[in-house]
Amino acid sequence: MSTPAIVALLTDFGTEDGYVAAMKGRLLTGAPAARLVDISHEVEPYNIRQAAFCLNNCYRYFPEGSIFVVVVDPGVGTSRRGLLIKSQGYFFIGPDNGVFSLMLESGKGELFEILMDSFAAPVSSTFHGRDVFAPLAGLVACGADYFRHLQPAEGVVSFVNPPQITGENEISAEVIHVDHFGNAILNIRKEHIGEISATRPRLRLGKTEVSGVHRTFGEVEKGRFLMCWDSSGYLQLACNLGNAAHELRINVGDKIRLWR
């Protein structure tokens, strides 16, 4: 007997209103043996990019066949599509608004549009997470026929945000995420930094200059800034035992110049 399917949930709902729990209830009603995993319900309300980043940080570590339900959905009830995407051995269910952008950079996806009207009425106009995405995930988790709720689709709302080469020795990066510890994650991966310097990129913010890429926080003194590769392969600006974003007043969307 195989292990029951894993359904992992990522929302911007918070937990205190019972909205997440309503989704969990629907899921368990449809798929009594499914195993629910909370990714997070603390994504900032409507913050699609944060959801995309969070999903990208974790999905690849789950067992094959895991189902991800992502409900950060400012356009619920409008004409935005709902999607089921098969990619890299996983199932992804959620709105077509960019939440799957980063995940789709790592592998091709087979896209399906969810036929909203195929679900039993009443479908709330404000809560597709409970009335569409959770029941669909339940069907997938059960191995039931979920294809009758889908039609093949093409194209997906996506944001990609590569760094800009601004000179022979210079690159303009953007802060794409500030994490719980105040690490500022840049849109720079190893393949980009090669264009500047394999060994010694530099960065300046106000009077603070940071140079080189360290292996880990503890290689610099407490309170000092450093650059290192984050656990998903992005370059991050950090502060050993401190909060870099707070101390350097860095926000998501800020541009930072790197050069050698």
Quick one: which of 67, 72, 78, 247 contacts a copy of itself (CB under 8 A)? 78
Quick one: which of 75, 150, 212, 260 contacts a copy of itself (CB under 8 A)? 75
Question: Does the footprint of a copy of itself cover residue 216 (CB under 8 A)?
Answer: yes
* Site stretch for a copy of itself (CB under 8 A), options 157-165, 167-175, 200-208, 225-233: 225-233
Q: At a CB cut-off of 8 Å and minimum separation 6, what does 235 contact?
A: 173, 185, 186, 188, 189, 193, 201, 213, 227, 228, 229
**Closest CB 232 distance from a copy of itself, rounded Å:** 8
* Site stretch for a copy of itself (CB under 8 A), options 51-59, 140-148, 157-165, 197-205: 51-59
Question: Does the footprint of a copy of itself cover residue 107 (CB under 8 A)?
Answer: no
* Site stretch for a copy of itself (CB under 8 A), options 38-46, 139-147, 148-156, 193-201: 38-46
Q: Looking at beta carbons only, is 204 or 222 nearer to a copy of itself?
A: 222
**Closest CB 164 distance from a copy of itself, rounded Å:** 25
Q: What is the DSSP string of the chain?
A: -PPPPEEEEEESS-STTSHHHHHHHHHHHH-TT-EEEEEES-SPTT-HHHHHHHHHHHGGGSPTT-EEEEE--TTTTSSPPEEEEEETTEEEEEESSSTTTTGGGSS-EEEEEE-GGGSPSPPPSS-HIIIIIHHHHHHHHHT---GGGEEE---------PPEEEETTEEEEEEEEE-TT--EEEEEEHHHHTTT-SS--EEEETTEEEESEESSGGGS-TT-EEEEE-TTSEEEEEETTS-HHHHTT--TT-EEEEE-
Q: Looking at beta carbons only, is 73 or 201 nearer to a copy of itself?
A: 73
* Site stretch for a copy of itself (CB under 8 A), options 154-162, 173-181, 199-207, 252-260: 173-181
Residues 113-172 that bind a copy of itself (CB under 8 A): 124-127, 130-131
Residues in binding contact with a copy of itself, number by CB under 8 A: 73
* Site stretch for a copy of itself (CB under 8 A), options 23-31, 105-113, 164-172, 247-255: 23-31
Residues 177-196 that bind a copy of itself (CB under 8 A): 177, 179-181
